Structure 1
């Protein structure tokens, strides 16, 4: 039985950061309409203005996407963390952590970099670390 304390601690940190990502997505949904006007003024100065409805719709869509992807990654990480209790399910746990990392990478366009890297490292650690086997047997006299 391997002590997987490092994976568990990093997994909890990754879950917490993913939940913070859900909060960040909710924060994007609660942006004041005056902010869109300021952004549109800056875009007009650069020569590439967008209609207000398009700008607001795109920010809301990305906020919802960020929330959903972060929530999915957090749930996958929680299930992976629960599977770390036994050595036989460590491979499944590693796969779940890697899927969570890929989900965060693709779904948030790389903005959730820290939890994504943590999930990737945990997934690799869960897959690579194997339980110690005794190399000494009773067949050969010592």
Structure 2
């Protein structure tokens, strides 16, 4: 039986970071309308102006997407940490961690880089680390 303390700790850290990502998405939803006007003025100086409504709608849509994807990744990682209790289920747990990492990569366009890398490492560790087999078994008495 392998002690999978490292996988559990890194999984919990990634869950916490994903919950922070949900909070970041909620913060994007609560941005003041004056911010969009200032951002539009900066864009006008650079020569690429957008209507304020379009800018507000795109930031709002990305905030919702960031929240949903981070929540899905957090739930998958939580299930992966819970399933990681036995060595037989380490493969299932590794697959859940890898699916969560790919979900973060695609859904947040790479902005959730740290939890994505943690989940990728944990998923690979769960799949690669195997329990030590005993050379002396009951089939071959010594």
The answer, yes or no, to whether TM exceeds 0.5 is: yes
TM bucket (normalised to shorter chain) is: over 0.9
Deviations 1:25-54 (A, max 9, x none): 000000000000000000000110000100
| Map of 1:94 onto structure 2 | 94
C-alpha deviation, 1:137, in angstroms: 3.5
| Map of 1:34 onto structure 2 | 34
Query: Structure 1 segments of 4 or more deviating over 3 A?
Result: none
| Map of 1:111 onto structure 2 | 111
C-alpha deviation, 1:135, in angstroms: 1.1
SS at match of 2:87: coil
SS at match of 1:25: helix
| Map of 2:125 onto structure 1 | 125
SS at match of 1:110: coil
Distance in 2, Cα, partners of 1:13 & 1:99 = 17
Distance in 2, Cα, partners of 1:100 & 1:106 = 10
- The number of residues matched between the two structures is 141
Task: Tell whether 2:72 aligns with 1:69.
Answer: no
C-alpha deviation, 1:136, in angstroms: 2.2
C-alpha deviation, 1:104, in angstroms: 0.3
C-alpha deviation, 1:140, in angstroms: 5.2
Q: CA RMSD in A?
A: 0.9
Distance in 1, Cα, partners of 2:137 & 2:92 = 30
| Map of 2:13 onto structure 1 | 13
SS at match of 2:93: helix
Distance in 2, Cα, partners of 1:34 & 1:19 = 27
Deviations 1:76-130 (A, max 9, x none): 0000001100111100000000000000000000000000000000000000001
SS at match of 1:31: coil
Q: Provide the TM-score with structure 2 as the length reference.
A: 0.97
Unpaired runs of at least 5, structure 1: none
Q: Provide the TM-score with structure 1 as the length reference.
A: 0.97
Distance in 1, Cα, partners of 2:57 & 2:122 = 36
